[in-house]
Amino acid sequence: MDVREIELRRVRMPLVRPFRTAHGVEHERDVLVVRIATDGADGWAECVAQNEPTYTSEWAGGAHAVIRDFLGPLVLRAPVTADGVAARLAEVQGHPMAKAALETAVLDAELRTAGRSLASFLGATRDRVECGVAVGIANSIDALLDECAGYLAQGYRRVKLKIRPGWDVEPVAAFRKRFGSVPLQLDANGAYTLADASILGALDEFELLCIEQPLGVDDLRGHAGLARLIATPIGLDESITSARVAREAIEMQACAVVCIKPGRVGGLLEAVRVHDVCRDRRVAVWCGGMLETGLGRAANLALAALPGFTLPGDLSASDRYFDRDLTEPFVIEDGHLRVPDGPGVGAVPDRDALRDLTTAVEVLTRA
């Protein structure tokens, strides 16, 4: 694939409600959209780096800069296929989310040129994906329960609650009291330490699908120790940065469930390899969300339709986050989202939305 130019577009996406996490509150997303131009077709991708380097070390502005100054010129240097992007970019250390955006854009262009869908290419076995919803830390338990009630009324099949020290047992107990046996998992975003094992163990009685990332990102040994102290399955998210790390974590018995986010592992192709490692070892996986627009959600849905994704993911409908999406909105139907079956990722940005929401554009060409 001969990439003639790379367009880096910053898009301001207001959120329908503040998204509270263990790291703070977001009111809007600063989205980096990548478009590549080739002789066959344009390829599109969304970089999932967040507004600030609080979730990971990457952020939208940094991803823009590293693509402009380092990664983009490597892609423009000579023709490259999607399965060769990772090797081409390997001389630049780190920046998996920026690399993932470029790989996805090249793959999208390849598949559009061939008239083939991403879902078919990745090996999807379903045409729709069961949906869960992630709910941030609320101002009060009553507010949290009312928010969850709204999502369950819309048809979401699983709820994931964010927790942190001081906001854990009480809201979970309240959720169970009000909603009974609704599938529930928790996400700690690394907010606890092994010294908190007794607190985390107190959550065992609530029959959770898992506690996601209770300890620090680099603490696989601690997670393995915690797994021996509590009955609730441990899920790993931020710790899983590659198929190799997934294999090591499983062999250490540091997790019983894995969250796969393509941006975090460096791209869709590595995400499939993580899926394969987990499936071979009978470890359940789900597809995590990063507050994507429809462009990123379309790619995630194709991935989540693979056979090893046996748990509902965080792939919510467009109106969960945005009044106006960048693409045709994704709508939940009977607790599911449809997997796009058009060429490439199956979605392209709406030109009017791009025009109205864009804050900056930069185009890279060969020197």
Alpha helices by DSSP H, listed for the chain, are 60-66, 72-77, 82-89, 96-114, 118-122, 141-154, 169-179, 197-201, 220-227, 243-251, 262-265, 268-280, 294-304, 351-357
Which is catalytic among the residues 99, 160, 177, 261? 261
Phi, psi of 2, rounded to the nearest 5 degrees:
-95, 105
Give Cα 69 distance to the centre of its chain: 25
Cα Rg, the chain, nearest whole Å = 20
Distance CA 181, CA 311 (A): 16
Instruction: Please tell me which residue in 99, 160, 162, 177 is annotated as part of the active site.
Output: 162
| 99 noted as active-site residue | no
| Contact criterion met (CB below 8 Å) for 345 and 298 | yes
Return phi, psi of residue 260, to 5°. Answer: -110, 125
Q: Is residue 261 among the annotated active site residues?
A: yes
Q: Cβ-count burial of 214 within 10 angstroms (0-12 exposed, 13-18 middle, 19+ buried)?
A: buried
Cβ atoms within 10 A of the Cβ of 163, count? Answer: 25
The residues assigned a catalytic role are 162, 261
